[in-house]
Amino acid sequence: MSSSGSNPPAEASSKTSPSKTAVPPQRSTIAESPLQTHGHPFLRKLQSGGLSATGSSAFSTTADNGSSNNNSGRKSVDEAIAAVAAESVGDKSPTAAAASAAEIMINRRLHQQSLDNAADPGTSSTAQGSAHVHSHDGGCCSTATTGEAQKHTYEYVSDHESFDLESAKLPPISAEARRFTDQLLGQNKTWAAKVEMERPGFFARLEKQQSPQVLWIGCSDSRVPANQIVNMDPGEIFVHRNIANVVTHTDMNLLSVLEYAVTVLKVRHIIVCGHYGCGGVAASLTQKQYGVIDNWLRNIKDLYTIHRKKFDALPHGGTEQQDLLTELNVIQSALNVCHTSIIQKAWSRGEELSIHGWCYRLSDGRIRNLGLCIEGPGNVEDVYHVQKP
Protein backbone atom coordinates (compact mmCIF):
# COMPACT_ATOMS: atom_id res chain seq x y z
CA MET A 1 0.00 0.00 0.00
CA SER A 2 1.12 3.58 -0.63
CA SER A 3 0.22 6.93 0.85
CA SER A 4 -0.48 8.84 -2.41
CA GLY A 5 2.83 10.64 -2.31
CA SER A 6 2.48 12.15 1.14
CA ASN A 7 5.46 11.95 3.42
CA PRO A 8 5.26 9.58 6.38
CA PRO A 9 5.53 11.08 9.87
CA ALA A 10 9.14 12.01 10.50
CA GLU A 11 10.77 10.58 13.60
CA ALA A 12 13.94 12.20 14.83
CA SER A 13 16.85 9.84 15.29
CA SER A 14 20.05 9.98 17.25
CA LYS A 15 21.80 11.27 14.10
CA THR A 16 19.57 14.36 13.86
CA SER A 17 21.41 17.59 14.51
CA PRO A 18 20.24 19.37 17.66
CA SER A 19 19.98 22.64 15.70
CA LYS A 20 17.49 21.26 13.21
CA THR A 21 13.81 21.54 13.92
CA ALA A 22 11.98 18.21 13.99
CA VAL A 23 9.46 17.77 11.18
CA PRO A 24 5.96 17.67 12.68
CA PRO A 25 4.07 14.46 11.95
CA GLN A 26 1.57 14.53 9.12
CA ARG A 27 -1.66 12.58 9.13
CA SER A 28 -1.38 9.63 6.79
CA THR A 29 -3.85 9.35 3.93
CA ILE A 30 -3.88 5.56 4.29
CA ALA A 31 -7.31 4.23 5.19
CA GLU A 32 -7.72 3.67 8.90
CA SER A 33 -7.15 0.12 10.08
CA PRO A 34 -9.69 -1.75 12.24
CA LEU A 35 -7.39 -1.06 15.20
CA GLN A 36 -7.60 2.66 14.54
CA THR A 37 -11.34 2.59 14.00
CA HIS A 38 -12.36 0.34 16.86
CA GLY A 39 -9.34 0.30 19.17
CA HIS A 40 -8.57 2.30 22.28
CA PRO A 41 -8.78 6.09 21.78
CA PHE A 42 -5.11 6.43 22.72
CA LEU A 43 -4.02 3.96 20.04
CA ARG A 44 -6.19 5.64 17.42
CA LYS A 45 -4.73 9.04 18.23
CA LEU A 46 -1.20 7.71 18.35
CA GLN A 47 -1.50 5.90 14.98
CA SER A 48 -3.18 8.82 13.27
CA GLY A 49 -0.36 11.18 14.27
CA GLY A 50 -2.51 13.24 16.59
CA LEU A 51 0.25 13.35 19.17
CA SER A 52 2.84 15.98 18.27
CA ALA A 53 6.51 15.13 18.49
CA THR A 54 8.94 17.62 19.89
CA GLY A 55 12.62 17.13 20.47
CA SER A 56 14.06 13.82 19.38
CA SER A 57 10.94 11.77 20.05
CA ALA A 58 7.26 12.15 20.78
CA PHE A 59 7.70 10.02 23.89
CA SER A 60 10.66 9.43 26.09
CA THR A 61 10.88 7.11 29.05
CA THR A 62 13.68 9.21 30.52
CA ALA A 63 14.47 12.82 29.85
CA ASP A 64 17.97 14.16 29.20
CA ASN A 65 18.25 15.66 32.64
CA GLY A 66 16.93 12.57 34.41
CA SER A 67 13.46 13.99 35.08
CA SER A 68 10.14 13.11 33.46
CA ASN A 69 10.08 16.45 31.62
CA ASN A 70 13.07 18.18 30.09
CA ASN A 71 13.61 21.64 28.74
CA SER A 72 12.38 20.66 25.27
CA GLY A 73 8.97 19.80 26.68
CA ARG A 74 9.04 16.09 25.93
CA LYS A 75 6.56 13.91 27.81
CA SER A 76 7.18 10.54 29.34
CA VAL A 77 5.11 7.63 28.05
CA ASP A 78 2.97 7.63 31.19
CA GLU A 79 2.32 11.35 30.91
CA ALA A 80 1.42 11.07 27.24
CA ILE A 81 -1.01 8.23 27.90
CA ALA A 82 -2.57 10.13 30.79
CA ALA A 83 -2.98 13.23 28.64
CA VAL A 84 -4.73 11.35 25.85
CA ALA A 85 -6.87 9.43 28.31
CA ALA A 86 -7.99 12.69 29.88
CA GLU A 87 -9.23 13.87 26.48
CA SER A 88 -10.72 10.55 25.35
CA VAL A 89 -12.43 9.24 28.49
CA GLY A 90 -15.62 10.94 29.58
CA ASP A 91 -16.21 12.08 33.14
CA LYS A 92 -18.98 9.51 33.58
CA SER A 93 -17.22 6.49 32.12
CA PRO A 94 -16.41 3.44 34.28
CA THR A 95 -12.71 4.08 33.69
CA ALA A 96 -12.98 7.63 35.03
CA ALA A 97 -15.09 6.45 37.96
CA ALA A 98 -12.54 3.81 38.94
CA ALA A 99 -9.69 6.31 38.61
CA SER A 100 -11.51 8.87 40.75
CA ALA A 101 -12.34 6.32 43.43
CA ALA A 102 -8.74 5.10 43.50
CA GLU A 103 -7.43 8.66 43.78
CA ILE A 104 -9.76 9.37 46.68
CA MET A 105 -8.65 6.29 48.59
CA ILE A 106 -4.97 6.97 47.93
CA ASN A 107 -5.24 10.57 49.06
CA ARG A 108 -7.08 9.54 52.20
CA ARG A 109 -4.41 7.01 53.08
CA LEU A 110 -1.61 9.47 52.41
CA HIS A 111 -3.31 12.13 54.47
CA GLN A 112 -3.86 9.76 57.38
CA GLN A 113 -0.21 8.72 57.17
CA SER A 114 0.78 12.37 57.37
CA LEU A 115 -1.36 12.80 60.47
CA ASP A 116 0.19 9.68 62.01
CA ASN A 117 3.71 10.91 61.25
CA ALA A 118 2.96 14.31 62.76
CA ALA A 119 1.62 12.70 65.93
CA ASP A 120 4.53 10.27 66.19
CA PRO A 121 7.48 11.83 68.06
CA GLY A 122 9.85 9.40 66.34
CA THR A 123 9.21 10.68 62.83
CA SER A 124 11.80 12.69 60.97
CA SER A 125 11.88 16.46 61.06
CA THR A 126 11.31 16.53 57.33
CA ALA A 127 8.03 14.67 57.67
CA GLN A 128 6.95 16.94 60.53
CA GLY A 129 8.04 20.21 59.04
CA SER A 130 7.99 20.62 55.30
CA ALA A 131 5.92 17.67 54.06
CA HIS A 132 2.67 18.75 52.49
CA VAL A 133 -0.73 17.13 52.42
CA HIS A 134 -1.93 17.26 48.84
CA SER A 135 -5.42 18.41 48.12
CA HIS A 136 -7.97 16.52 46.04
CA ASP A 137 -9.87 18.17 43.24
CA GLY A 138 -13.08 17.47 45.11
CA GLY A 139 -12.00 19.76 47.93
CA CYS A 140 -11.71 17.02 50.55
CA CYS A 141 -8.71 18.65 52.12
CA SER A 142 -6.66 21.76 51.53
CA THR A 143 -2.89 21.96 51.22
CA ALA A 144 -1.22 22.30 54.60
CA THR A 145 1.98 21.37 56.34
CA THR A 146 1.80 18.30 58.51
CA GLY A 147 2.06 20.48 61.56
CA GLU A 148 -1.17 22.20 60.55
CA ALA A 149 -2.74 18.95 59.44
CA GLN A 150 -3.25 17.91 63.05
CA LYS A 151 -5.90 20.61 63.31
CA HIS A 152 -7.41 19.91 59.88
CA THR A 153 -11.11 19.20 59.63
CA TYR A 154 -10.61 16.51 56.99
CA GLU A 155 -12.28 13.34 58.20
CA TYR A 156 -10.55 10.04 57.73
CA VAL A 157 -11.96 7.02 59.47
CA SER A 158 -12.21 3.48 58.18
CA ASP A 159 -16.00 3.66 58.54
CA HIS A 160 -17.74 4.15 55.20
CA GLU A 161 -19.94 6.85 56.69
CA SER A 162 -17.03 9.31 56.75
CA PHE A 163 -16.30 9.02 53.03
CA ASP A 164 -17.27 12.32 51.46
CA LEU A 165 -18.29 10.86 48.12
CA GLU A 166 -20.61 13.75 47.29
CA SER A 167 -17.68 16.14 46.80
CA ALA A 168 -15.49 13.62 45.04
CA LYS A 169 -16.85 14.33 41.55
CA LEU A 170 -17.72 10.70 41.00
CA PRO A 171 -20.38 9.81 38.42
CA PRO A 172 -23.86 9.93 39.96
CA ILE A 173 -25.45 6.64 40.99
CA SER A 174 -29.11 5.68 40.76
CA ALA A 175 -31.48 5.83 43.70
CA GLU A 176 -31.78 2.04 43.61
CA ALA A 177 -28.02 1.51 43.81
CA ARG A 178 -27.79 4.01 46.68
CA ARG A 179 -30.67 2.33 48.52
CA PHE A 180 -29.09 -1.10 48.06
CA THR A 181 -25.72 0.12 49.33
CA ASP A 182 -27.18 1.89 52.34
CA GLN A 183 -29.31 -1.12 53.24
CA LEU A 184 -26.51 -3.69 53.20
CA LEU A 185 -23.95 -1.47 54.88
CA GLY A 186 -26.56 -0.63 57.51
CA GLN A 187 -27.23 -4.31 58.09
CA ASN A 188 -23.50 -4.92 58.40
CA LYS A 189 -23.22 -2.19 61.00
CA THR A 190 -26.12 -3.63 62.99
CA TRP A 191 -24.67 -7.15 62.82
CA ALA A 192 -21.21 -6.02 63.88
CA ALA A 193 -22.62 -4.06 66.82
CA LYS A 194 -24.72 -7.02 67.92
CA VAL A 195 -21.80 -9.45 67.79
CA GLU A 196 -19.53 -7.05 69.67
CA MET A 197 -22.18 -6.47 72.32
CA GLU A 198 -22.77 -10.20 72.82
CA ARG A 199 -19.10 -11.17 72.58
CA PRO A 200 -16.89 -8.19 73.51
CA GLY A 201 -13.54 -8.22 71.74
CA PHE A 202 -14.63 -10.79 69.15
CA PHE A 203 -13.43 -8.83 66.10
CA ALA A 204 -10.19 -7.75 67.76
CA ARG A 205 -9.36 -11.39 68.36
CA LEU A 206 -10.50 -12.41 64.88
CA GLU A 207 -8.28 -9.80 63.26
CA LYS A 208 -5.13 -11.16 64.84
CA GLN A 209 -5.33 -14.71 63.56
CA GLN A 210 -6.88 -17.08 61.05
CA SER A 211 -6.57 -20.67 62.18
CA PRO A 212 -9.45 -22.68 60.71
CA GLN A 213 -9.37 -26.45 61.00
CA VAL A 214 -11.69 -26.96 58.03
CA LEU A 215 -11.57 -26.29 54.31
CA TRP A 216 -15.08 -26.31 52.85
CA ILE A 217 -15.53 -26.95 49.13
CA GLY A 218 -19.16 -26.25 48.33
CA CYS A 219 -21.63 -24.96 45.78
CA SER A 220 -22.04 -21.26 45.02
CA ASP A 221 -25.78 -21.55 45.73
CA SER A 222 -26.78 -18.70 48.03
CA ARG A 223 -28.92 -21.07 50.12
CA VAL A 224 -25.93 -23.09 51.31
CA PRO A 225 -23.73 -20.80 53.45
CA ALA A 226 -20.93 -22.89 54.94
CA ASN A 227 -20.57 -21.21 58.35
CA GLN A 228 -24.27 -20.97 59.14
CA ILE A 229 -25.34 -24.54 58.33
CA VAL A 230 -22.70 -26.02 60.65
CA ASN A 231 -23.10 -23.23 63.22
CA MET A 232 -19.50 -22.04 63.16
CA ASP A 233 -18.09 -18.53 63.54
CA PRO A 234 -16.19 -16.48 61.00
CA GLY A 235 -12.58 -17.59 61.02
CA GLU A 236 -13.40 -21.24 61.70
CA ILE A 237 -13.93 -22.40 58.10
CA PHE A 238 -11.84 -21.63 55.03
CA VAL A 239 -14.22 -21.67 52.06
CA HIS A 240 -14.05 -22.32 48.33
CA ARG A 241 -17.25 -22.37 46.29
CA ASN A 242 -18.10 -22.91 42.65
CA ILE A 243 -21.02 -24.08 40.53
CA ALA A 244 -22.01 -27.59 41.70
CA ASN A 245 -18.93 -28.02 43.96
CA VAL A 246 -16.87 -29.57 41.18
CA VAL A 247 -13.21 -30.45 41.81
CA THR A 248 -11.02 -30.74 38.72
CA HIS A 249 -7.25 -30.91 38.34
CA THR A 250 -7.14 -27.93 36.00
CA ASP A 251 -8.94 -25.44 38.25
CA MET A 252 -6.07 -23.21 39.38
CA ASN A 253 -8.38 -21.21 41.61
CA LEU A 254 -9.38 -24.28 43.60
CA LEU A 255 -5.85 -25.71 43.64
CA SER A 256 -4.49 -22.42 44.99
CA VAL A 257 -7.06 -22.44 47.78
CA LEU A 258 -6.33 -26.09 48.53
CA GLU A 259 -2.58 -25.57 48.72
CA TYR A 260 -2.90 -22.52 50.96
CA ALA A 261 -5.31 -24.33 53.26
CA VAL A 262 -3.06 -27.38 53.60
CA THR A 263 0.43 -25.89 53.63
CA VAL A 264 -0.16 -22.54 55.34
CA LEU A 265 -3.33 -22.80 57.41
CA LYS A 266 -2.67 -26.46 58.26
CA VAL A 267 -6.33 -27.49 58.14
CA ARG A 268 -7.15 -30.95 59.44
CA HIS A 269 -10.36 -31.62 57.53
CA ILE A 270 -11.51 -30.98 53.96
CA ILE A 271 -15.24 -31.23 53.32
CA VAL A 272 -16.76 -31.51 49.87
CA CYS A 273 -20.41 -30.64 50.41
CA GLY A 274 -23.03 -30.77 47.68
CA HIS A 275 -26.73 -30.13 48.09
CA TYR A 276 -29.88 -31.79 46.83
CA GLY A 277 -31.79 -29.65 44.36
CA CYS A 278 -28.56 -28.28 42.87
CA GLY A 279 -29.28 -26.36 39.67
CA GLY A 280 -25.93 -27.28 38.14
CA VAL A 281 -26.60 -31.00 38.60
CA ALA A 282 -30.13 -30.62 37.23
CA ALA A 283 -28.79 -28.82 34.14
CA SER A 284 -26.30 -31.65 33.60
CA LEU A 285 -29.19 -34.05 33.05
CA THR A 286 -30.56 -32.00 30.14
CA GLN A 287 -29.46 -31.18 26.61
CA LYS A 288 -30.11 -27.48 27.00
CA GLN A 289 -27.40 -24.92 26.27
CA TYR A 290 -26.67 -22.33 28.94
CA GLY A 291 -23.38 -20.81 27.78
CA VAL A 292 -19.85 -21.10 29.11
CA ILE A 293 -21.09 -23.14 32.04
CA ASP A 294 -21.86 -26.03 29.64
CA ASN A 295 -18.13 -26.79 29.55
CA TRP A 296 -17.97 -26.81 33.34
CA LEU A 297 -20.98 -29.12 33.66
CA ARG A 298 -19.31 -31.54 31.26
CA ASN A 299 -17.55 -33.00 34.32
CA ILE A 300 -20.91 -33.98 35.81
CA LYS A 301 -22.25 -35.25 32.49
CA ASP A 302 -19.24 -37.57 32.31
CA LEU A 303 -20.28 -39.08 35.64
CA TYR A 304 -23.76 -39.69 34.30
CA THR A 305 -22.31 -41.43 31.27
CA ILE A 306 -20.06 -43.67 33.36
CA HIS A 307 -22.95 -44.79 35.57
CA ARG A 308 -25.63 -44.73 32.88
CA LYS A 309 -27.04 -48.18 33.69
CA LYS A 310 -27.64 -47.20 37.31
CA PHE A 311 -29.55 -44.11 36.24
CA ASP A 312 -31.67 -46.08 33.77
CA ALA A 313 -32.87 -48.25 36.64
CA LEU A 314 -34.33 -45.20 38.45
CA PRO A 315 -37.65 -43.48 37.66
CA HIS A 316 -37.42 -40.76 35.03
CA GLY A 317 -38.82 -37.28 35.61
CA GLY A 318 -38.50 -37.34 39.40
CA THR A 319 -35.73 -36.33 41.78
CA GLU A 320 -34.19 -39.78 42.15
CA GLN A 321 -31.76 -39.43 39.26
CA GLN A 322 -30.80 -35.90 40.21
CA ASP A 323 -30.21 -36.87 43.85
CA LEU A 324 -28.02 -39.80 42.82
CA LEU A 325 -25.98 -37.64 40.46
CA THR A 326 -25.58 -35.07 43.25
CA GLU A 327 -24.14 -37.72 45.55
CA LEU A 328 -21.89 -39.23 42.88
CA ASN A 329 -20.56 -35.76 42.07
CA VAL A 330 -19.63 -35.20 45.72
CA ILE A 331 -17.90 -38.57 45.93
CA GLN A 332 -15.94 -38.02 42.73
CA SER A 333 -14.93 -34.49 43.76
CA ALA A 334 -13.74 -35.77 47.14
CA LEU A 335 -11.68 -38.44 45.39
CA ASN A 336 -10.26 -35.79 43.07
CA VAL A 337 -9.12 -33.83 46.13
CA CYS A 338 -7.29 -36.94 47.36
CA HIS A 339 -5.67 -37.43 43.97
CA THR A 340 -4.02 -34.00 43.91
CA SER A 341 -0.30 -33.80 44.50
CA ILE A 342 -1.06 -31.29 47.27
CA ILE A 343 -2.85 -33.87 49.40
CA GLN A 344 -0.54 -36.72 48.45
CA LYS A 345 2.51 -34.68 49.49
CA ALA A 346 0.86 -33.72 52.78
CA TRP A 347 0.18 -37.38 53.56
CA SER A 348 3.74 -38.32 52.57
CA ARG A 349 4.97 -35.79 55.15
CA GLY A 350 2.92 -37.57 57.79
CA GLU A 351 0.33 -34.80 58.16
CA GLU A 352 -3.08 -35.76 59.53
CA LEU A 353 -5.66 -34.83 56.93
CA SER A 354 -9.18 -36.16 56.39
CA ILE A 355 -11.37 -35.68 53.31
CA HIS A 356 -15.15 -35.95 53.79
CA GLY A 357 -18.14 -36.17 51.44
CA TRP A 358 -21.42 -34.62 52.57
CA CYS A 359 -24.77 -33.55 51.09
CA TYR A 360 -27.04 -30.81 52.42
CA ARG A 361 -30.82 -30.93 52.04
CA LEU A 362 -32.51 -27.60 51.51
CA SER A 363 -35.94 -28.82 52.61
CA ASP A 364 -34.95 -29.50 56.23
CA GLY A 365 -31.52 -27.87 56.66
CA ARG A 366 -29.86 -31.17 57.53
CA ILE A 367 -26.55 -32.52 56.25
CA ARG A 368 -26.26 -36.15 55.21
CA ASN A 369 -22.93 -37.90 55.67
CA LEU A 370 -22.33 -40.01 52.55
CA GLY A 371 -20.01 -42.28 54.51
CA LEU A 372 -16.91 -41.20 52.63
CA CYS A 373 -13.95 -40.25 54.83
CA ILE A 374 -10.44 -40.74 53.45
CA GLU A 375 -7.65 -40.23 55.96
CA GLY A 376 -4.53 -41.39 54.16
CA PRO A 377 -3.01 -42.63 50.93
CA GLY A 378 -3.90 -46.23 51.79
CA ASN A 379 -7.44 -45.61 50.52
CA VAL A 380 -6.28 -44.13 47.23
CA GLU A 381 -5.03 -46.03 44.16
CA ASP A 382 -1.25 -46.45 44.06
CA VAL A 383 -0.89 -44.58 40.81
CA TYR A 384 -1.75 -41.31 42.60
CA HIS A 385 0.81 -41.76 45.37
CA VAL A 386 3.96 -39.62 45.44
CA GLN A 387 7.38 -40.62 46.69
CA LYS A 388 8.58 -39.14 49.94
CA PRO A 389 10.97 -36.20 49.41
* Alpha carbon 159 to its chain's center: 22
CB within 8 Å of 1: residues ≥ 6 apart: 30
Q: Is 221 known as a binding-site position?
A: yes
Catalytic residue from among 223, 298, 308, 349: 223
Asked if 223 is an active-site residue, the reply is yes
Catalytic residue from among 221, 323, 338, 356: 221
d(CA 238, CA 261): 7
Catalytic residue from among 219, 273, 338, 359: 219
> Helix or strand or coil: residue 292?
coil
CB within 8 Å of 256: residues ≥ 6 apart: none
Q: Which residues of 190-226 are buried (b: 16+ CB within 10 A; e: fewer)?
A: eeeeeeeeeeeebeeeeeeeeebebbbbbbebeebeb
Asked if 140 is an active-site residue, the reply is no
CA torsion through residues 29, 34, 37, 42, sign: negative
CA max distance for the chain: 91
Backbone dihedral region for residue 143 (phi beyond 0: left; psi -120 to 50: alpha; all else: beta): beta
d(CA 167, CA 103): 13
Q: Is 219 known as a binding-site position?
A: yes
Catalytic residue from among 273, 275, 338, 359: 275
With 0-12 / 13-18 / 19 or more C-beta atoms within 10 angstroms meaning exposed / middle / buried, residue 339 is: middle
Q: Is 159 known as a binding-site position?
A: no
What's the CA angle centered on 281, arms 261 and 366, to 5 degrees? 65
Q: Which residues of 140-158 are buried (b: 16+ CB within 10 A; e: fewer)?
A: bbeebebeebeebebebee
Asked if 219 is an active-site residue, the reply is yes
Contact 331, 356 (CB under 8 A): no
Binding-site members are 219, 221, 275, 278
Active site residues: 219, 221, 223, 275, 278
Binding-site members for Zn(2+) are 219, 221, 275, 278
